């Protein structure tokens, strides 16, 4: 208790001006956190210089070497020393800090990197001679002539050698290399018309190419789709929906994956504001809210979304790393993302991701077979029927069609032909429907349907669960949420600021069956609660709403609880596993799935059906 306070001494501290080297090292601590941060700053400079091709090389995870070469407009010899001066930039004139159209604008990256490493810049502008300049630990060397066709080459060696303490916080070479890879891929997604090459030259020489993305051609969506297929994988491109929407000056474009193509973490979520990769809680929350009705809490959507707006509607001057932004009207941005994604998912209808079929085919393990038998060597259908008849006396051949039908009861668990299939009013071209025509039922739970070019396996319980759920939500939207009045209103005490924030949403909460009103001071009176929720802890519910408002600027707590109840009702009210269905019932279920949005996944995010192409099935049997 009597220990002296280290901040209190007998000597009055003196205020002094720090020298430029110390200032640059302090700034480097904010701007350059790790080698990946240096790569990000230098690649963004190359993009600001209108480069069409950028080559990145690193050694030992970027700790010993980072080299960025571009074919941009370059710098004149007189500009090189100025480029190493703090707060010197060609991207803004300082008159309007909201009119920012480039990645960089602070003029801190190059002097900060030169303060903590050994950096050499070689550049040549059109019509000018090439020149080079070096800076080691903040000491700028003389300007010298150089040989370069055009563009700029920045070589950074021994990063953080001037601040050894920072080196102790570096991770392994592999971890730092992965971080560099992630940064380059994000920037490559933002600029699909620019070519990128990333090399690991740790062993010397040309090294090995870690990532390569050639410049894409075509319009915005074609180029972006090609680049996303290269960066995020072909499966993402196959299962992603194009997104395009506009509202009050904000434009949203990009691709978002189907709910059945989800991930176990948020690694496949890429968000951009005016082509700048950002990690913004508002955007992440909007993305999560758009998929809240389709994914289980343990699953995360995959998406690459680009928000474009006039510079004065967003502030990018929030963090030195420029990874955070502030919107002038965050509610408009959130609403735009949620509505655009939900509209795209609704238009997708019953579509499910192709990875579901791929996983199903991968689960099959065909037994080792004899050498391939060609079609001309196969016995005819009649010969097969007679052979089976001779081998299994319990079976008989249908004289008209040649099909083999069971004469007695089928074994337990065997496939059941669709009951009354002959009497069912099935259109002659029923197999032309997207989900085909029902042909059988397996284990009283799985419907087998035939399409024109394959087959579909439907989980009858999961499919009907989604159909009932969508029907209940539609009824709720049309008729509203019934509210039950409390005999004695519940008074919830909170701060005046929290009460004011809640009362601003009173009308919206009332539409969801939650009636609140001011009760003086910081108290809020809860007079009605949603009837479908039954007994509700009003205080806990209001606190959940407040937490969401503080974290995301919007709240879905009440709606999510209501939808969770509807989901449980749909689960218990849908067709149960183990029920045998007639042919007309199965076909009616298939037709309703085709007409209902989101029917490709159940309420828990699992697929409701699997489609297998005939060509893939034939491969399993060696026919192709």
- Residues 193-206 have pLDDT tens digits of 999 999 999 988 88
Which of 186, 213, 240 corresponds to the end of one domain?
213
CA atoms within 13 A on the CB side of 570: 24
In a domain, 233, yes or no: yes
In a domain, 530, yes or no: yes
Q: Does the structure show a pLDDT above 60 at 122? A: yes
List helix spans (H) across 324-380. 330-347, 354-363
- pLDDT of 320: 64
Of all residues in the chain, what percent carry a pLDDT higher than 90? 29
Of 529 and 575, the one with more pLDDT: 529
Same domain, 323 and 445: no
Same domain, 46 and 162: yes
> Mean pLDDT throughout 272-295?
87
In a domain, 613, yes or no: yes
Same domain, 339 and 434: no
Band (pLDDT 50/70/90 cuts) for residue 124 is very high
Which of 172, 188, 213 corresponds to the end of one domain?
213
Of 508 and 569, the one with more pLDDT: 508
Of 503 and 2, the one with more pLDDT: 503
Q: Does the structure show a pLDDT above 60 at 63? A: yes
Same domain, 254 and 339: yes
Residue 248 host element (H or E): none
Same domain, 206 and 226: no
> Mean pLDDT throughout 492-508?
85
- pLDDT of 394: 44
Highest mean pLDDT among 273-277, 349-353, 425-429, 497-501: 273-277
Same domain, 208 and 231: no
Same domain, 201 and 235: no
In a domain, 443, yes or no: yes
Band (pLDDT 50/70/90 cuts) for residue 371 is low
In a domain, 399, yes or no: no
Domain CATH code at residue 114: 3.30.565.10
Band (pLDDT 50/70/90 cuts) for residue 535 is confident
Describe the crossing of helices 460-479 and 583-595 by its angle, rounded to 10 degrees.
50
Q: What is the pLDDT of residues 301-314, one digit of tens each?
A: 999 999 999 988 88
In a domain, 61, yes or no: yes
Same domain, 194 and 239: no
Band (pLDDT 50/70/90 cuts) for residue 397 is very low
Same domain, 326 and 443: no
Could you give the number of structural domains in the chain? 3
Q: Does the structure show a pLDDT above 90 at 184? A: yes
- pLDDT of 109: 80
> Mean pLDDT throughout 213-220?
88
What span, in angstroms and rounded, lies between the C-alpha atoms of 213 and 218?
Answer: 15
Burial class (CB in 10 A: 0-12, 13-18, 19+), 7: exposed
Burial class (CB in 10 A: 0-12, 13-18, 19+), 378: exposed
Which of 213, 239, 270 corresponds to the end of one domain?
213
Q: Does the structure show a pLDDT above 90 at 608? A: no
Q: What is the pLDDT of residues 28-45, one digit of tens each?
A: 666 678 899 899 989 998
What span, in angstroms and rounded, lies between the C-alpha atoms of 420 and 196?
Answer: 61
Band (pLDDT 50/70/90 cuts) for residue 225 is very high
- pLDDT of 265: 86
Domain CATH code at residue 447: 3.30.1370.100
Cβ contact 385:397 at 8 Å: yes
Of all residues in the chain, what percent carry a pLDDT higher than 70? 76
Band (pLDDT 50/70/90 cuts) for residue 395 is very low
Q: What is the pLDDT of residues 400-448, one digit of tens each?
A: 433 434 434 444 444 555 554 444 455 557 788 888 899 999 888 899 9
Burial class (CB in 10 A: 0-12, 13-18, 19+), 329: middle
Same domain, 177 and 231: no
Describe the crossing of helices 460-479 and 557-573 by its angle, rounded to 10 degrees.
130
- pLDDT of 8: 56
The edge-to-edge listing of strands for the beta sheet with 609-613 is: 416-417, 437-442, 446-451, 454-459, 609-613
Q: Does the structure show a pLDDT above 70 at 380? A: no
Q: What is the pLDDT of residues 320-350, one digit of tens each?
A: 666 788 888 888 999 999 999 999 988 887 7
In a domain, 391, yes or no: no
Sign of the CA dihedral running 169, 175, 180, 183: negative
Band (pLDDT 50/70/90 cuts) for residue 90 is low
> Mean pLDDT throughout 464-487?
82
- pLDDT of 91: 64
Same domain, 166 and 243: no
Give the domain extent around 497: 415-617
3-class SS string, 131-170: EEEEEECCEECCCEECCCCCEEEEEEECCCCCCHHHHCCC
In a domain, 7, yes or no: no
- pLDDT of 66: 95
Same domain, 267 and 155: no
Of 265 and 405, the one with more pLDDT: 265
Q: For residue 430, what is the DSSP state? A: G
> Mean pLDDT throughout 553-568?
66
Domain CATH code at residue 289: 3.30.230.10
């Amino acid at each position: 208790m009597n220990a002296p306070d280290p901040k209190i001494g007998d000597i009055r501290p003196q205020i002094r001006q720090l020298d430029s080297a110390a200032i640059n090292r302090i700034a480097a601590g904010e701007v350059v956190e790790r080698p990946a941060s240096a790569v990000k700053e230098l690649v963004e400079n190359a993009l600001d210089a209108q480069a069409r091709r950028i080559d990145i090389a690193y050694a030992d995870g970027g700790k010993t070497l980072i080299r960025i070469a571009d074919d941009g407009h370059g710098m004149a010899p007189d500009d090189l020393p100025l480029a190493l001066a703090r707060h010197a930039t060609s991207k803004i004139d300082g008159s309007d800090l909201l009119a920012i159209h480039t990645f960089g604008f602070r003029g801190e990256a190059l002097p900060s990197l030169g303060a903590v490493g050994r950096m050499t810049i070689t550049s040549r502008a059109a019509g000018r001679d090439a020149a080079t300049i070096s800076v080691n630990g903040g000491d700028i060397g003389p300007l010298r002539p150089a040989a370069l066709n055009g563009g700029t080459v920045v070589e950074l060696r021994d990063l953080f050698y001037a601040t050894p303490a920072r080196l102790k916080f570096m991770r392994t070479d592999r971890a730092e290399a992965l971080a560099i890879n992630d940064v380059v891929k994000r920037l490559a997604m933002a600029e699909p018309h620019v070519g990128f090459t990333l090399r690991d030259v740790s062993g010397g020489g040309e090294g090995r190419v870690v990532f390569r993305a050639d410049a894409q051609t075509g319009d915005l969506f074609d180029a972006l789709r090609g680049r996303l297929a290269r960066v995020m994988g072909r499966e993402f491109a196959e299962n992603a929906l194009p997104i395009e929407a506009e509202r009050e000056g904000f434009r949203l474009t990009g691709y978002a994956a189907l709910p059945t193509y989800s991930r176990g973490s948020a690694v496949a979520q890429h968000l951009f504001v005016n082509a700048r990769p950002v990690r913004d809680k508002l955007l992440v929350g909007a993305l999560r809210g758009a998929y809240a009705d389709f994914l289980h809490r343990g699953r995360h959507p995959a998406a690459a979304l680009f928000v474009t707006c006039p510079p004065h509607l967003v502030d990018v001057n929030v963090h030195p790393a420029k990874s955070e932004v502030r919107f002038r009207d965050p509610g408009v941005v959130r609403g735009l993302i949620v509505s655009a994604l939900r509209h795209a998912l609704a238009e997708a209808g019953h579509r499910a991701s192709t990875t579901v079929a791929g996983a199903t085919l991968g689960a099959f393990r065909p037994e080792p077979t004899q050498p391939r038998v060609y079609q001309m060597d196969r016995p005819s259908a009649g010969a097969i029927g007679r052979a089976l008849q001779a081998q299994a006396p319990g079976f008989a051949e249908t004289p008209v069609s040649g099909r083999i039908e069971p004469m007695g009861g089928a074994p337990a668990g065997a496939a059941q032909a669709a009951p009354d299939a002959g009497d069912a009013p099935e259109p002659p071209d029923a197999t032309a429907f997207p989900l085909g025509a029902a042909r059988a039922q397996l284990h009283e739970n799985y419907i087998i349907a035939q399409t024109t070019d394959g087959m579909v396996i439907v989980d009858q319980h999961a499919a009907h669960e989604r159909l009932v759920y969508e029907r209940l939500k539609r009824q709720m939207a049309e008729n509203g949420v019934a509210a039950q009045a409390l005999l004695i209103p519940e008074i919830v005490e909170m701060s005046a600021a929290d009460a004011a924030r809640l009362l601003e949403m009173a009308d919206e909460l009332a539409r969801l069956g939650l009636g609140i009103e001011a009760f003086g001071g910081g108290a809020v009176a809860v007079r009605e609660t949603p009837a479908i929720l039954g007994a509700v802890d009003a205080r806990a519910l209001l606190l959940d709403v407040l937490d969401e408002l503080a974290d995301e600027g919007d709240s879905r707590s009440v709606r999510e609880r209501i939808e969770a109840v509807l989901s449980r009702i749909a689960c218990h009210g849908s067709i149960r596993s183990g029920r045998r269905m007639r042919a007309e019932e199965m076909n009616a279920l298939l037709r309703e799935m085709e007409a209902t949005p989101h029917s490709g996944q159940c309420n828990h995010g699992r697929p409701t059906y699997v489609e297998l192409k005939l060509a893939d099935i034939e491969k399993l049997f060696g026919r192709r």
